[in-house]
């Protein structure tokens, strides 16, 4: 296991604390003093204990540029999700069941585990694709309507629009 510098640990701790506190306030939906104080104490202990587990990112994640790209990613993702559902609806409702399933693979340029996880999840929720496995930088995708088995072309069609944005976030 790699050693982590103290400032990294501190940044992770603050980041975890921030997100846990955000979730707590959204769940209680109140700013009453006793709720907030109890939430701060509990989330502080949890984030102290989980420093070595949630090793996603440092405080750079909260810079305005990255937050802008996250919101942009969210919009891209929502559009893809709605398209995916209309696609499923079209395939399921048409009497001839127009599918041509197969498994394709492609390589990604992403390096960190968290960004690969986000990409894999997004691919699963976009039209006609389902992530079967991720081994190092190779993605294995079940595709409901295969148009190409060439890894490069498959990458352009499935993942390029997401990866561009993810490279800017992580």
Is 88 one of the binding residues for other proteins (CB under 8 A)? yes
Is 102 one of the binding residues for other proteins (CB under 8 A)? yes
C-alpha of 57 from chain center: 13
H runs (alpha helix) in the chain: 6-28, 33-49, 64-93, 113-124, 151-158, 160-169
DSSP letter, residue 143: E
Q: Which residues contact 89 (CB under 8 A, 6 or more apart)?
A: none
Is 149 one of the binding residues for other proteins (CB under 8 A)? yes
Is 104 one of the binding residues for other proteins (CB under 8 A)? yes
Here's the x/- map for other proteins, 45-64, by CB under 8 A: it reads as: --------------------
Angle at which helix 160-169 crosses helix 64-93, to 10 degrees, equals: 160
Among 112, 133, 160, 164, binds other proteins (CB under 8 A): 133
Is 112 one of the binding residues for other proteins (CB under 8 A)? no
Identify the burial level of 144 via C-beta atoms within 10 angstroms of its C-beta, where 0-12 means exposed, 13-18 middle and 19 or more buried.
middle
Among 11, 140, 165, 167, binds other proteins (CB under 8 A): 140
Interface positions with other proteins (CB under 8 A) = 23, 26-27, 29, 81-82, 84-85, 87-89, 91-93, 97, 99-105, 120-122, 124-125, 128-133, 135, 140, 142, 144, 146, 149
């Amino acid at each position: 296991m790699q050693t982590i510098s103290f400032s990294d640990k501190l940044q992770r701790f603050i980041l975890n604390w921030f997100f846990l506190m955000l979730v707590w306030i959204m769940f209680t939906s109140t700013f009453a003093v006793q709720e907030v104080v109890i939430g701060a104490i509990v989330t502080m202990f949890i984030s102290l204990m989980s420093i070595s587990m949630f090793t996603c990112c440092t405080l750079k994640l909260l810079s305005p540029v990255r937050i802008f790209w996250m919101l942009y990613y969210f919009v891209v993702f929502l559009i893809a999700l709605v398209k995916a559902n209309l696609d499923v609806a079209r395939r399921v409702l048409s009497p001839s069941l127009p599918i041509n399933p197969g498994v394709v693979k492609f390589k990604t340029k992403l390096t960190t585990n968290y960004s690969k996880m986000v990409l894999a999840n997004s691919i699963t929720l976009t039209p006609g694709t389902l992530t079967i496995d991720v081994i190092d930088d190779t993605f294995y995708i079940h595709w409901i309507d295969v148009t190409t088995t060439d890894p490069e072309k498959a990458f352009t069609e499935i993942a390029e629009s997401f990866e561009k944005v993810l490279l800017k976030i992580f």
